[in-house]
Amino acid sequence: MNSIEQLLVNPRLTVRREGSPKSDGKCVVYWMQRAQRGTDNPALDVAITAANELQRPLVVFFGLHPKYPNANQRHYAFLIQGLEETKQAVEKRGAAFAFRPFPNHDLLKFCAEVNPCLVVGDENPMREPEGWRLSAARHLTVPFWTVDADVIVPTKLFPKEEYAARTIRPKLHKLLPVFFQPLENPKALYQWKENDKPFSQEIDPQRLLEELPLDRSASVLPDVKGGTAEGMRVLQRFILERLASYDTARNQPHLAGTSELSAFLHFGHLSPLTIALAAREADAPQVAKDAFLEELIVRREVAINFVARNPQYDSLAGCPDWGQKTLTEHAADARAHLYTESQFESAATHDRLWNAAQQEMVTTGRMHGYLRMYWAKKILEWTRTPEEAFAIAVHLNDRYEMDGRDPNGYTGIAWAIGGKHDRPWAPKRNVFGMIRFMSGDGCARKFNVPAYIERVNKLVRGAQISLNWE
Ligand code: FAD
């Protein structure tokens, strides 16, 4: 086996287009999409190692597509804030960074320009980005490999759809000794000659946000910052101030008890491995660390498994048969309240807690995790059909959550509305049938509801944005 073939035994790697690297190619291209960072990035590591073996320079290509499905200017602002530091981190690793926003974001055109031996990409289980990878594999004329960089244990090691967290947990735990390890972060050894370096457009966040043809349906949040450095700051805050009490505080929405790292994970600004290692090494009670690693590894990776293995992940049709059946049996049940999508969107329901949760999401780009469950279940309770409820929850979640459009979101909604990864619950309830029910009274027993509503009211009053419905 030659040294390039040895790279192919990496369990994170999938060969999308076979063949030997082009012998007269000039470089290796890493097509960076989901893993938007320069450290702890297994796709970048593979690209650097391959470039070193082939004795070629590496260029990281970042083509900015302005119509990423369901993404709006709020999400692009977060993404673009991270780009300059990713560029610098990539350059520190010895590679060039080529930023090509729309209309110059085409990978194939870029490859025609730089003549690579090989293209490396990262992985994303969602429908559209997976489609882009399949299309790249069909059209590229050199080998194309992808590397699963944003999970601890590679998704392809679980080829079937898992039934629940309890079925994937033991499998993940068995593999953690192999994959829950620090990465080497190698350096690229073959540098670009200054004249040959691929052109990179200046990263001017303000201008990009103004000039790109973006969806403007949700406002940019001036107080929310993206990028690896900001992600590391939030991670440090979590480790020092919140991790020790995570097991008890995380389900208390009136407290700031969770990490707030989900958007950094979504945009690949932080690796789940960086976060998990920091938690494992932290000086905190084991029970708190275990609770956090359960969410970060087991719950997150069962969600990725669902989206990777179930093509209907964003509709009721992706939910288990028992969930769909029980909802159908209760489809004709009378609803005490019925709201339209725009009433939900403008937080105009009769329920102050629900409205506060919706306002928290719109105003801060982040709803507390415990309330996300309540929020989605009440949409089921107050709409005409479960299909409509599912669609409304997806629209609002994807539009306003900074971490929206993520496997965790589709799985969370499928859990709340269709019983995905859950079990049937008795006694049967109106509208819900055997889907787990949540009530405002239950919330009041769990946490300080008035304190939460007051906290959101303060946030809304202090918000620098104009709310969408004003
Ligand atoms: P922490 O409690 O600090 O957890 C650390 C990390 O573990 C999170 O960042 C996340 O990556 C992962 N995690 C935590 N809880 C879950 C969970 N239940 N399922 C899967 N992974 C989890 N998460 C998103 O990332 N994007 C979404 O759009 C999204 N929408 C949701 C919608 C509904 C209806 C529900 C019920 C859940 C949704 N979640 C979503 C999952 C979860 O609520 C968030 O990941 C979490 O609240 C993010 O806050 P945090 O980073 O402070 O989490």
Tell me which residue has tokens 């597509």. Answer: 65
Q: Whose CA is nearest to atom 52 of ligand 1?
A: 260
pLDDT digits (tens, 9 = 90+) for 136-157: 999 999 999 999 999 999 999 9
Ligand 1 geometric centre to CA of 147 (Å) = 24
Strands 96-101 and 116-122: unpaired
Which of 295, 362, 394, 399, when mutated, tests ligand 1's pocket best, judged by the most ligand atoms within 8 Å of its CB?
295
Q: Which tokens hold the place of 405?
A: 């459009």
Note the pLDDT of residue 106: 97
Ligand 1 close to Cβ of residue 418 (< 6 A): no
Ligand 1 close to Cβ of residue 323 (< 6 A): no
- Phi, psi of 146, rounded to the nearest 5 degrees: -120, 150
Which of 372, 377, 421, when mutated, tests ligand 1's pocket best, judged by the most ligand atoms within 8 Å of its CB?
372
Ligand 1 close to Cβ of residue 261 (< 6 A): yes
Ligand 1 geometric centre to CA of 26 (Å) = 42
| Per-position b or e across 203-214, b if 16+ CB within 10 A of its CB | bebeebeeebeb
Ligand 1 geometric centre to CA of 403 (Å) = 8
Ligand 1 close to Cβ of residue 409 (< 6 A): yes
Rounded Cα distance between 319 and 328, Å, is 12
Report the phi/psi class of residue 432: left, alpha or beta, with left for phi > 0 and alpha for psi in -120 to 50.
alpha
Ligand 1 close to Cβ of residue 300 (< 6 A): yes
Rounded Cα distance between 104 and 101, Å, is 6
Residue numbers of the chain with a pLDDT score lower than 70: 464-470
Ligand 1 close to Cβ of residue 37 (< 6 A): no
pLDDT digits (tens, 9 = 90+) for 197-218: 999 999 999 999 999 999 999 9
Atom of ligand 1 nearest to the CA of 403: 26
pLDDT digits (tens, 9 = 90+) for 219-274: 999 999 999 999 999 999 999 999 999 999 999 999 989 999 999 999 999 999 99
β-partners of residue 62 are: 99
Ligand 1 close to Cβ of residue 289 (< 6 A): no
Ligand 1 geometric centre to CA of 199 (Å) = 38
Ligand 1 close to Cβ of residue 258 (< 6 A): yes
Ligand 1 close to Cβ of residue 270 (< 6 A): no
Ligand 1 geometric centre to CA of 152 (Å) = 16
- Of 163, 349, 162, 370, the residue nearest 256 (C-alpha): 370
- Of 50, 54, 59, 62, the residue nearest 29 (C-alpha): 59
Instruction: For residue 205, give the amino acid letter.
Output: P
Q: Is 309 exposed, middle or buried (0-12, 13-18, 19+ CB in 10 A)?
A: middle
pTM of the model as a whole: 0.97
Ligand 1 geometric centre to CA of 10 (Å) = 29
Q: Whose CA is nearest to atom 48 of ligand 1?
A: 262
Ligand 1 geometric centre to CA of 248 (Å) = 16
Ligand 1 close to Cβ of residue 305 (< 6 A): no
Ligand 1 geometric centre to CA of 369 (Å) = 6
- Of 223, 215, 218, the residue nearest 469 (C-alpha): 218
| Contact (CB, 8 A) for 163 and 69 | no
Which of 267, 293, 403, 405, when mutated, tests ligand 1's pocket best, judged by the most ligand atoms within 8 Å of its CB?
403
Ligand 1 close to Cβ of residue 301 (< 6 A): no
The 3-class SS string of the chain reads CCHHHHHCCCCCEEEEECCCCCCCCCEEEEECCCCCCCCCCHHHHHHHHHHHHHCCCEEEEEEECCCCCCCCHHHHHHHHHCHHHHHHHHHHCCCEEEEEECCCCCHHHHHHHHCEEEEEEECCCCHHHHHHHHHHHHHCCCCEEEECCCCCCCHHHCCCCCCCHHHHHHHHHHHHHHHCCCCCCCCCCCCCCCCCCCCCCCCCHHHHHHHCCCCCCCCCCCCCCCCHHHHHHHHHHHHHHHHHHHHHHCCCCCCCCCCCCHHHHHCCCCCHHHHHHHHHHCCCCHHHHHHHHHHHHHHHHHHHHHHHHCCCCCCHHHCCHHHHHHHHHCCCCCCCCCCCHHHHHCCCCCCHHHHHHHHHHHHHCCCCHHHHHHHHHHHHHCCCCHHHHHHHHHHHHHHHCCCCCCHHHHHHHHHHHHCCCCCCCCCCECCCECCCCCCHHHHHHHCCHHHHHHHHHHHHHHCCCCCCCC
Ligand 1 geometric centre to CA of 372 (Å) = 9
